[in-house]
Amino acid sequence: MIRAENINKSFGKLQVLRNVSVSLPQGRVVAVIGPNGSGKTTFIKTLLGIVVPDSGSIYVEGQSIANRHDYRAQIGYMPQIGRYPTHLKIKQLFDMMTDLRKENAPKSLDEDLVAAFGLRAMFEKPLGTLSGGTKQKVSAALAFLFNPPILILDEPTAGLDPLSSELLKEKIQREHDNGKLILITSHVMSDLDELATDVLYLQDGSVQFYNSVNDLKLETGEQKLGRAIAKTMSKTEASSNLSEAIKI
């Protein structure tokens, strides 16, 4: 469970997150969506402690993350672009990560994705020589490796071939069935339609809405998530235009 309270973040004059407050419970797959530059990755990075908010608080399993790092062991993170030391081989990266986690690593590693993606056959390849998609596979396999209760996946299927994308979605679904909290940012609506239980929509750094997928579909009468979101957005815009008009 993650709770964010009144998160604000600016980079110079640009305010990227505005009073973001949300509760993200275990057992949900929350799609974090919004236009390019709306603050999705920045929000995710505040949860991971990579970006420190200017104000507001974040709690993981009820405990504030301020000035702590140990909570990170509960989160598996797949970045939008994995940047790894180029000379390191895949095997060395996995060994290094396992070594770093030694004290709080689980008894058995989750190597489902290592097997599904056939990564073992590439273990001796230096990371700098890998294709973009293969690097994505390494990032995905690492995110799931320590069986964390929370997964944060930034554009997980971008750059993956169709089969690998399906394998990753099947894995996400299995971990959802295991009761994990999974946050996904993606612009691929069909993927989110298959996976998400909830939608957190950010625009200009503010939460426009945070609803369950079922409610969004019921309220709009739309069966497809993309259409349900578009309809919800047009209602939100219409109501904000109306309130602007009333002010005038």
Ligand X SMILES: Nc1ncnc2c1ncn2[C@@H]1O[C@H](COP(=O)(O)OP(=O)(O)OP(=O)(O)O)[C@@H](O)[C@H]1O
Please say which residue, 126 or 226, places its beta carbon nearer to ligand X. Answer: 226
Q: Locate tokens 């625009």: which residue?
A: 203
Dist CA 202 CA 2 (whole Å): 17
| Interaction site with ligand X (CB under 6 A) | 11, 14, 16, 34, 36-42
Dist CA 214 CA 232 (whole Å): 13
Give me the least distance between CB of 69 and ligand X, in Å please.
20
Give me the least distance between CB of 62 and ligand X, in Å please.
26
- The one-letter code for the residue type at 125 is K
Dist CA 94 CA 91 (whole Å): 5
Give me the least distance between CB of 77 and ligand X, in Å please.
14
Give me the least distance between CB of 32 and ligand X, in Å please.
8
Burial class (CB in 10 A: 0-12, 13-18, 19+), 229: buried
Token pair belonging to 133: 């998609």
Q: Strand, helix or coil at 214?
A: helix
Please say which residue, 36 or 243, places its beta carbon nearer to ligand X. Answer: 36
Please say which residue, 36 or 223, places its beta carbon nearer to ligand X. Answer: 36
Give me the least distance between CB of 118 and ligand X, in Å please.
29
Q: Locate tokens 């990032």: which residue?
A: 139
Among candidate residues 65, 47, 55, 66, the one with its CA nearest the CA of residue 9: 55
Give me the least distance between CB of 22 and ligand X, in Å please.
15
Dist CA 117 CA 150 (whole Å): 22
Among candidate residues 44, 38, 42, the one with its CA nearest the CA of residue 2: 44
